[in-house]
Every structure is written in C-alpha cells, then in structure tokens.
C-alpha cells in the first residue's frame, strides 16, 4: 500500500467521524485520567517514596524483593522506577500526542486490526520514553553516588538542581528543540511520510517509536526538571504537562518556548543569587 493510498482514509465519512468522537476520544481521555489517578494514589500510599527514589530497598515489599530476586539491589529499583516513569509519561505525554493518535485513528479506521495498530503505535511511543527514563535513572543514580562520595558537593547539592533548570531554559532556544517541536506539531505530514501500510504491526510500532524520538528530542530537558522539582510532585507534573501540550497542540504554542526559556533561566539566576 503506497503512502498516497494510505493517506486518503484520513478524510472519514460522517459515520466514521461520529465513531471517532464517540469511542476514540473518550477512550484516550480515560487512559490519561487513569494514569493521573494511579499516580495520585501511588503518591499518597505508603509506597509513595518510590516515586521520589527514597529508600528503595530499606523496608517494605521492595526490600523483600531485593533479597529474593537475583541482583535484586539493581533489578528491583530499576523495575520500580521504570513503572513509575512509564506511568508518569503516560499521564504527562499522552495529552501532547492527541493529534498523532487522532490522525492515525482516522487513517487506519477502515482496517480490521485498527485497534491493535493503535495499541502498537502507543507501545512504540512509550517504549522510547521508557528507554529515556532508564537513562535518566542511571544518570540520577550516578549523581547520587557522586554526592555521596564528594562531601563538598553534597553541601552544595542545590547547584545540580539549578544547573538542571538552567539547562532546560537554554534548551528552549536550541535549533534541535524547534526541529523536533515542528515534527510534533504536524502529525498528519509525519504519519503520511512514515506510514507505508505494509507489515502493519511492525510499521505501527516503528511509527510510534519514531514519533517518540522526536517527542523526546523536544521535551527531554523539561522532563528532567522533574528530578529538580521532585518526581512525586503532581502539581509540577500537571504544570509541565500543560506547558508541553500547549507547545505541541495549540496554534500559538510554538511562541511559548521563548518566554518559557527566559523564565527558566531567570529562575536559575535567582537561585544562584540567593545561595551565593
């Protein structure tokens, strides 16, 4: 199936449009809401400390698993962190991908395996963010090890948070940010350019992963802010999710990048001034 042939189903019939409004949008909205509710419940449970990376193996079920699972001290924290990161990504990033899923839903609505293709698209997207989360976890662990081994740096731990905020602010002005953001803001041309309709399952997963790479390229610095602000802070999650959704989905959203960068850099300067 050619690209041109695959693009025509995007103009759906009135019945298809009604099905889209009645089924697809509520299901995606329910998944997003479920992810936020799960995060809220986890943060307020006795195991909420796992979201903040505190005492992963000191007590509770995680400590027991660390003792019984081979290499548990490494495997269990990584698995818990991966689960927390994927849940956080689903809550924060799925709203920003609504145009992508919307376009792909219309494009494949006539296929009998339409639902499976949508799931594979989402799986490919989340796989990329999961891999980024594991890299972020490794970086975070390395920073904690450095702080533990260098007491002088531990006394000035605020520098790491400030540097993260400054990095996120500076990245808002980078060419990579705008190139990736442009891909995220034009899902129709992205899908038409990458969807071939052959070997549908593999290509649907690859399409989601490819779009996820651009999404990571656009938002990685803002997501790293969660390490400076607290990965268990639902308030900051909501604020960052709203910012990223506006950047990608709203007509004037691209203009938000510059003032956001200025605000983050100014915040970093204020932190330096107050601690110096």
Quick check: 91 and 32 in contact, CB under 8 A?
Answer: yes
Domain ranges of the chain: 3-275
- 56: nearest Cα among 40, 37, 39, 79: 79
- Can you say whether the dihedral through the CA atoms of 20, 26, 31, 33 is positive or negative? positive
Looking at residues 143-169, what average pLDDT do you find? 81
Question: Which pLDDT value is given to residue 9?
Answer: 42
Long-range pairs of 267-273 with CB within 8 A, sequence gap ≥ 24: 267/165, 267/169, 268/162, 268/163, 268/165, 268/166, 268/169, 271/158, 271/161, 271/162, 271/165, 272/162
Quick check: 7 and 103 in contact, CB under 8 A?
Answer: no
Q: Could you tell me how many residues make up the chain? A: 276
38, pLDDT greater than 50: yes
Convert the pLDDT of each residue in 87-111 to its tens digit. 777 788 877 888 888 888 888 888 8
Averaged confidence pLDDT in the chain: 78
- Characterise 59 by phi-psi region: left (phi > 0), alpha (psi -120 to 50), beta (else): beta
Quick check: 216 and 182 in contact, CB under 8 A?
Answer: no
Convert the pLDDT of each residue in 13-28 to its tens digit. 455 455 545 555 676 6
């Amino acid at each position: 199936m050619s690209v041109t042939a695959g693009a025509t189903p995007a103009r759906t019939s009135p019945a298809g449009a009604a099905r889209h409004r009645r089924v697809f949008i509520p299901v995606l909205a329910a998944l997003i809401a479920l992810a936020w509710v799960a995060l809220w419940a986890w943060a307020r449970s006795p195991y909420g400390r796992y979201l903040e990376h505190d005492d992963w193996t000191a007590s509770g079920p995680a400590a027991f698993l660390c003792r019984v699972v081979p290499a548990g001290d490494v495997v269990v924290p990584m698995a818990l962190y991966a689960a927390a990161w994927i849940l956080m990504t689903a809550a924060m990033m799925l709203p920003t991908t609504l145009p992508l899923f919307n376009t792909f839903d219309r494009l494949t609505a006539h296929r009998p395996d339409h639902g499976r293709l949508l799931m594979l698209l989402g799986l490919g997207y989340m796989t990329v963010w999961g891999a980024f989360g594991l890299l972020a976890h490794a970086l975070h662990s390395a920073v904690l090890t450095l702080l533990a081994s260098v007491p002088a740096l531990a006394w000035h731990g605020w520098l790491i948070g400030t540097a993260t905020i400054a990095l996120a602010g500076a990245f808002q002005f980078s060419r990579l940010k705008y190139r990736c953001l442009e891909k995220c803001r034009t899902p129709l041309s992205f899908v038409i350019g990458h969807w071939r309709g052959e070997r549908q399952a593999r290509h649907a997963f690859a399409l989601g992963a490819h779009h996820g790479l651009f999404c990571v390229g656009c938002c990685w610095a803002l997501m790293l802010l969660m390490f400076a602000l607290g990965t268990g802070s639902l308030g900051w999650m909501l604020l960052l999710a709203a910012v990223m959704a506006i950047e990608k989905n709203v007509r004037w959203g691209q203009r938000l990048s510059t003032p956001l960068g200025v605000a983050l850099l100014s915040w970093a300067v204020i932190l330096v001034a107050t601690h110096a």
